[in-house]
Amino acid sequence: MTFVPPDHPRFLSLMYRERLVEKVKEGVVVLQGLIAHGRGEAFDYILGEQSIPPALEAERVAAAELMLARRPVISVNGNTAALIPRELAELSKLTGAPLEVNLFYRSEERAARIASLLQMHGAEEVLWEPETEIEGLRSERRKVSSRGIAAADVVLVALEDGDRTEALKRLGKRVIAIDLNPFSRTSLTADVTIIDNVVRAVPNIIRFYKEMNEAEAREAVRRFSNEVNLKESIKWIKKWLDQKISELF
């Protein structure tokens, strides 16, 4: 692995890049995943690489949704497994939601690698051998487990493609999406959209879950409007851009 000086101003960002590159070599991340990450980084940059207040609110509501769900499931792809395997395992154990490996660029070998990576980091319930399909979806993401996504009432997704978010919604599921791009179809379609980096979002959801009881969870969900929250996130980006303009002169 390339040495990244710890005092480098973009240390964290560079570390995550290194980790993704390592995981490409191990067959966990596909090359297309690196491109997706780059798009995410660009949005993260104009958010100031921080969890903005509307993201924190959505993360709290995500914790609430997971708490109130009958059968929550956490959908995992190559990038998320590479970036935050330990945190995904912890969220899974905390909420009782299994981790389900769901891939756009699916091969059985890669799915198995991702599953063992998650297990190595403490995950107890990992579903990675789908035996049924989501209707109305043609990509490899249609392949799901009947004990997982197929039966779930609430699904947490990250770095998702809009097609599957729409398909899950058509099936009447509630979708929590973590996506740095507030303009993606996923962001516009989900019930709870978190405009934040997964590396910050998942630890935040864990923290909120631990702090919350069921009455507070119900109240958080009741008061939440995804439309308002999404608008607030975009306003933050606008504010950041305005500040950058004023710093120039």
- Report if residue 160 touches Mg ion, rule: CB under 5 A: no
- Report if residue 161 touches Mg ion, rule: CB under 5 A: yes
DSSP string, 79-103: HHHHH-HHHHHHHHHHHTPPEEE--
Q: Cα separation of 206 and 78, whole Å?
A: 21
Residue closer to ligand ATP, measured from CB, 95 or 186 = 186
Residue closer to ligand ATP, measured from CB, 151 or 240 = 240
Strands 154-158 and 72-76: parallel
Q: Cα separation of 193 and 182, whole Å?
A: 8
From ligand ATP, Mg ion, none, interface partner of 51 (C-beta below 5 to 8 A by class)? none
Residue closer to ligand ATP, measured from CB, 79 or 125 = 79
From ligand ATP, Mg ion, none, interface partner of 65 (C-beta below 5 to 8 A by class)? none
Instruction: From 90-98, 174-182, 204-212, 232-240, give the range in contact with ligand ATP by CB under 6 A.
Output: 174-182
Sequence-distant (≥ 6) Cβ neighbours of residue 75 within 8 angstroms: 100, 102, 149, 155, 156, 157, 158, 160
- Report if residue 179 touches ligand ATP, rule: CB under 6 A: yes
Instruction: From 7-15, 17-25, 89-97, 153-161, give the range in contact with ligand ATP by CB under 6 A.
Output: 153-161
- Minimum distance between the CB of residue 34 and ligand ATP, rounded to whole angstroms? 10
Edge-to-edge strand list for the sheet holding 174-178: 126-127, 99-101, 72-76, 154-158, 174-178, 192-194
Q: Do 209 and 62 contact (CB within 8 A), yes or no?
A: no
Residues contributing to the site for Mg ion (CB under 5 A): 161
The footprint of ligand ATP (CB under 6 A) covers 36-37, 39-40, 43, 158-159, 161-162, 178-181, 184-186, 197-198
